[in-house]
Amino acid sequence: MKLKKQQAKSTLSIYLELSKMNILSLVLVATFLGYYLGNNGIGSWSLLGFTLLGTAMTSAGAGALNHYLERKPDQLMTRTKNRPLAAGTISPLGVIIYGVSMIVVGSVILLSQVNMLTGFLSLLTAFLYIAIYTPLKRITWLNTSVGSIPGAMPIIGGWTAATGEIGTMAWILFGIMYLWQHPHFYAIAWMCKDDYAAANFKMLPVIEPDGARTMRQIFWHLLLMIPISLLPVVEGSLGTIYLVGVTIISCAFFLSAIPLAKDRSHKSALLLLKASVFYLPALLIIIMIDLGLQT
């Protein structure tokens, strides 16, 4: 592929885009959340630093390889046609080298500086995202549910970094994160359904344009999130502050989907997307406050 000259994009901006910084930021929030709750606080700053660094590098590498695998579909979609590979601002080989190197180095950091379990989970997450979820996007609408598995694993990785094992609370956190991703990504799919259709991605809003099943999927997962998010109180890890706080943000998240169910508009889908992005950091803050008051 002959590379195009694009003055507007620096080398740094190209690699940041390949790393999918929007996804990476959510991965780091989830990892920190799992680590903080597993450790009942920060504990070792160096351990936290290596955990976040290794996770960030592995996530960035997986994002880059996703760019490589979807370089041709990206050329067909308005929102992705200017991505580095689709626009020809970097070579496919360069992306492969960057992606593989980041995954390897990130995993080595986790294996050597954190623990073997966290390193293994990081590698497994990258594999599921690249080799399972990415191809499924062109095969079945269930790709969202399958892709939510690697999407939820960083929160377990944070927990295992702090504890060295996968406990009951880690699975509860995984459940919250797994359910959270469905309304988040269905909102994106609804806003981008024309683009996804052009690229032949089998997203649910593409194969069923009226949106009835998409809305059911959104509300089922939002509804399930409410009792699952209360389990940390039942399990005994968190207390009253968390109970009140998580009830408020979970109900607010649920209510944010109602306008989309009524009018199926881009504006309403964006409201749901914003609510989903707000939910995770709000959950982290609530947990930090609750644990802080317990000590």
- pTM of the predicted structure, to 2 decimals: 0.90
pLDDT at 295: 63
CA distances from residue 49 to 8, 24, 130, 211 in whole angstroms, order as listed: 33, 15, 25, 43
pLDDT at 9: 64
Place of tokens 């919250």: 176
Question: Tokens standing for 14?
Answer: 């190209």
Question: Tokens standing for 21?
Answer: 């910084």
How far is it, in rounded angstroms, from Cα 57 to Cα 42? 21
pLDDT at 7: 42
State the DSSP string of 107-146.
Answer: HHHHHHHT-HHHHHHHHHHHHIIIIIIHHHTTT-TTHHHH
Per-residue pLDDT of the chain (295 residues; tens, 9 = 90+): 444 444 446 888 999 999 999 999 989 999 999 999 999 889 899 999 999 999 999 999 999 999 999 999 999 998 889 899 988 899 999 999 999 999 999 999 999 999 999 999 999 999 999 999 999 999 999 999 999 999 999 999 999 999 999 989 999 999 999 999 999 999 999 999 999 999 999 999 999 989 999 999 999 999 999 999 999 999 888 999 999 999 999 999 999 999 999 999 999 999 999 999 999 889 989 998 998 887 6
CATH architecture of 11-294: Orthogonal Bundle (1.10)
DSSP code at position 89? S
pLDDT at 233: 94
E-assigned strands of the chain? none
Angle between helices 116-127 and 92-113 (to 10 degrees): 160
Q: For the chain, first and last CA: distance in Å?
A: 58
